[in-house]
Amino acid sequence: DGGITQSPKYLFRKEGQNVTLSCEQNLNHDAMYWYRQDPGQGLRLIYYSQIVNDFQKGDIAEGYSVSREKKESFPLTVTSAQKNPTAFYLCASSYEWGGGNEKLFFGSGTQLSVL
């Protein structure tokens, strides 16, 4: 079945540690996104990638990094510079960026907590 796979489902970070969240899609989509979800707030965009080997900062990129070396993969690293990393992280993809054809497909999310 086509879709987006995020792993792990739960992740715990120690202080000063970098952790990486995995996101893989087999939908052949060009665009991929990372969102952060906090209770009572809308989704906030961390990074997005319109095409392989390219990515752009979203509204809350500080303390995060990404790569897009393959079309199907868009891993997110939460660095030690991110002082409040506890949140639910969602990866999404779409056929293309913008233009109204923006039906997003989401993974099941990763819950990151600080030990």
Partner 1 sequence: AQSVAQPEDQVNVAEGNPLTVKCTYSVSGNPYLFWYVQYPNRGLQFLLKYITGDNLVKGSYGFEAEFNKSQTSFHLKKPSALVSDSALYFCAVRDMDSNYQLIWGAGTKLIIKP
Contact residues toward partner 1 (CB under 8 A) are 4, 6, 40-45, 48, 58-59, 90, 92, 98-100, 102-109, 111
Q: Please identify, using beta-carbon distances, which residue of 2 and 99 lies nearer to partner 1.
A: 99
Q: Please identify, using beta-carbon distances, which residue of 41 and 84 lies nearer to partner 1.
A: 41
Smallest separation (angstroms) from partner 1 to the CB of 16: 28
Q: What does each C-alpha distance from 69 to 48, 61, 72 come to in angstroms?
A: 13, 19, 9
Smallest separation (angstroms) from partner 1 to the CB of 65: 19
Q: What does each C-alpha distance from 86 to 38, 62, 83, 101 come to in angstroms?
A: 8, 14, 9, 31
Q: What does each C-alpha distance from 115 to 7, 8, 13, 62, 99 come to in angstroms?
A: 19, 16, 6, 21, 42
Smallest separation (angstroms) from partner 1 to the CB of 106: 3
25: number of Cβ within 10 Å: 22
Smallest separation (angstroms) from partner 1 to the CB of 76: 14
Q: Please identify, using beta-carbon distances, which residue of 16 and 42 lies nearer to partner 1.
A: 42
Task: Give start and end residues of each alpha helix (H) in the chain.
Answer: none
Q: Please identify, using beta-carbon distances, which residue of 62 and 102 lies nearer to partner 1.
A: 102
